[in-house]
Structure 1
Amino acid sequence: MHARRTIAVIAAAAAALALAGCSSAAPEESGSGSAAASDGSFPITIEHAFGETEIPAAPERVATWGWGSTEAALAVGVVPVAMAQQSYGANADGVLPWVADELDELGVETPVILTDDGEAPPYEELIEAAPDVILAPYSGITEEQYDLLSEIAPTVAYPDQPWTTPWRETVSIVGTALGKADEAQDVLDDLDAQLAAQAEAHPELDGQTIAAVWDVGGTFYVYTQEDSRVEFLSAFGIEDAPAVAELANGDSPFFYTLSYEQLDQLDSDLILSYHDTQAEADAFLQSAPIQAIPAVARGQVAQVVGTELIAAVSPPTALSLTYGLDQLVASLSAAAQAG
């Protein structure tokens, strides 16, 4: 299940955490997709990791694959004819709550849900959907898969590495591909304004250092500044703790695993931990090894609890960033004021 793979550890720890990206995660250190035209005129050429894709005319039948492209398309007013199935935080049909809400608000039926077996895109389902563009700027498709998808329709891949496109860039790439770059920028400006309002309301967060972690299945994950779930916290003035970089062991640009014997070295003002359930969140705080973390010992812990909320920020998307934002900021604020 690519979704949980993405949120928890992106692609590298699929066996242990089959979501996130998915923001986990999405580092800021990716290349930039570019377009020959961004004013809505076509043809448009978008550069990406596998070369470049020309979109000859304004797409009318859009298919989305991976994470975040569905939300970006909807946010600029385009309803896909087919969209990737999600599992982590989604309903029984594979639709995330903020996507379902947007479809309801638009008064449209749920698009075809493309089966995601965690291996390869469902080529036959895509052929049947007959898209004129396939958007996968935040995904894990291989070059071979890209070539096969391109035989179905012009396909936009990620600009640099799989599962690493920053959330803002995902929105921009999708907007450009659809000839709606201005609308995409409006979406980003609105989200930035909401983040700025939260920062203004919570000056206690400014300058706080943080370590974002997930203790699951006997493995302790630490997320770096390259991960979107950490990067977007900078909007509140929160900084990645120096210890996060100092303890990094090269597992991935955006996360690494840390032994329980080293947890006393994970020094930060705040700890932000992720948990599927409240029971797991409570167990985390009661764990003897976890008590070795200085911020935990001080009681300066913020927690993201529940698959929907985790999915909303791991990484955030055009529709999910503000989903549960008040709850997240309140937890961070309480942790900051506990010191």
Structure 2
Amino acid sequence: MRSTFGMGLALWAVVQATAGAAQEFPVTVTHAFGATVVEEAPVRVASVGWANHEVPLALGIVPVGFARASWGDDDGDGLLPWVTERLEALGAEAPVLFDEGDGIDFEAVASTNPDVILAAYSGISQSDYETLSRIAPVIAYPDAAWTTTWREMMSQNAAGLGMAEEGAALVADIEGRIAKAVAGYPELRGKTGMFVTHLDIRDLSTIGFYADADQRVQFLTDLGMETPQAVREASEAGKYSGRVSTERIDLFNDVDLVVTYGDEARLAEMSDNALIARFPAIARGSVVLLANDPMGTAANPTPLSIDYVLDDYLGRLAEAAARAGE
């Protein structure tokens, strides 16, 4: 997989180029729970939820604490590889890691004495927000839980740091590299991709999928693909996932390829089911299987992970797209 070290230096160059453009304080950030005022430039930054810490890291700020990685952490140190590389590039050690296996560890967050808490991509509730707000100002998601795009994650969190312009520059930088990489895979243009949540042989009565509000699906769009009409129609507003009865599997005849979590053995077991076998993409093997590894994790894109997996992910999608045309 591609190293993010070069990307980290590129991001830092962008930040340095816009270093004089930081916002004046106080700053106000609106979100699903109202508005948060950050009175002074935060020095001690903490985050909860998924990958919010990557925004300050990309902007050259080392957080005092963030959530321990629970998926795709090959060496069990609680850090994903692109985060480790970014910390090394900044000459920093790992900060406090919060264990969110049973929800937010409020005491651990409070122990880091943060000036601001980033949670733009998370599932925090109103109660969580209120509790966290007693610790420090909280930057919550703009609309609904777990529907924040990586672009929104960066812009929302960067605004809370008083670095809105730097955040916008970083988004543009990443978008440019995505566009350059995608140009090498014209076979993906216009192909429809469905992201199935998990292959679960214990319950074949329904098919779970990530909705068009989920950034895994939106990342496929970034990579030149389209969301199938059936997925758009079955997606509920504000929901990041949905389910459809397997008896209605014919709805997905317009799906060119499927991305999902699982292995070849699980896919073979699924394909033996009479209803699943009617799913054209699965029947012809137009499937990208993701494991509990960095690739599987980064299919849910984040500011630092995109470069790490971009070329490999595009290559696997292209292979599945080729099978769709056989």
TM-score (norm 2): 0.84
Between 219-228 and 165-174, report the one with greater CA deviation: 219-228
Identity of aligned residues (%): 38
Q: 1:224 to 1:140 in 2, by over 3 A?
A: closer
Equivalence for 1:209: 192
Residue range with higher mean Cα deviation, 328-337 or 56-65: 328-337
Q: Which has the larger displacement, 295-304 or 134-143?
A: 295-304
1:101-144 alpha-carbon deviations (Å, 9 max, x no partner):
2112222110001121333x222222221111111111122222
Structure 1 residues 275 and 136: CA distance shift in structure 2, 3 A: same
Secondary structure of 1:144's partner?
Answer: helix
SS in 1 for 2:29: strand
Instruction: Give the counterpart of 2:316 among 313, 325, 331.
Output: 331
Shift in Å at residue 230 of structure 1? 1.0
Match of 1:62 in 2: 45
Structure 2 portions without partners, runs of 5+: 1-20
Per the alignment, residue 270 of structure 1 pairs with 256
CA distance in 2, matches of 1:195, 1:283: 35
Gaps of 5+ in 1: 1-37
Q: Please tell me whether residue 223 in structure 1 is matched to residue 223 in structure 2.
A: no
- Return the match for 2:245 from 251, 256, 259: 259
In the alignment, which of 144, 147, 151 is matched to residue 168 of structure 1? 151
Q: Please give the alpha-carbon distance, in whole angstroms, between the structure 2 residues aligned to 1:189 and 1:212.
A: 26
Residues 210 and 268, structure 1, Cα contact 8 Å, conserved in 2: no
Question: Normalising to structure 1: TM-score of the pair?
Answer: 0.81
Structure 2 residue 20 is the aligned partner of structure 1 residue 75: no
CA offset digits 1:71-115 (Å, max 9, x no partner): 111011111001112211124232222212211222211000112
Q: Residues 174-233 of structure 1, C-alpha deviation per residue, up to 9 Å, x if partnerless?
A: 111112222222221121112111221111111112222132353531222221111122
User: Equivalent residue of 2:134, what SS?
Assistant: helix
Q: Which amino acid aligns with 1:320?
A: S
Among candidates 87, 100, 110, match of residue 84 of structure 2: 100
- Tell me which of 184, 190, 211 is aligned to 2:173: 190
Out of 310, 313, 319, the residue aligned to residue 299 of structure 2 is 313
- Amino acid in structure 2 at the alignment position of 1:254: Y
Distance 1:182 1:251 in 2: 30
Please give the alpha-carbon distance, in whole angstroms, between the structure 1 residues aligned to 2:161 and 2:173. Answer: 19
1:242 alignment partner in structure 2: 229
Q: Which amino acid aligns with 1:42?
A: F
Distance 2:72 2:283 in 1: 30
Q: Which amino acid aligns with 1:311?
A: T
Alignment of 1:34-183 (within 5 A): 39-90=22-73, 91-119=75-103, 121-183=104-166
Q: CA RMSD in A?
A: 2.3
Closer, same or farther in 2 for the Cα pair 1:249/1:62, shift >3 Å? closer
Q: Tell me what 1:301 maps to.
A: 287
Contact 1:199-1:237 at 8 Å conserved across structures: yes
Q: Distance in 2 between matches of 1:287 and 1:198?
A: 37
Aligned CA distance change for structure 1 residues 306 and 84 (closer, same or farther; 3 Å): closer
Number of aligned positions between the proteins: 299
Do the aligned partners of residues 323 and 283 (structure 1) sit closer, same or farther apart at CA in structure 2, a change above 3 Å counting?
farther
Judging changes above 3 Å, is the alpha-carbon distance between structure 1 residues 330 and 170 closer, same or farther for their aligned structure 2 residues? same
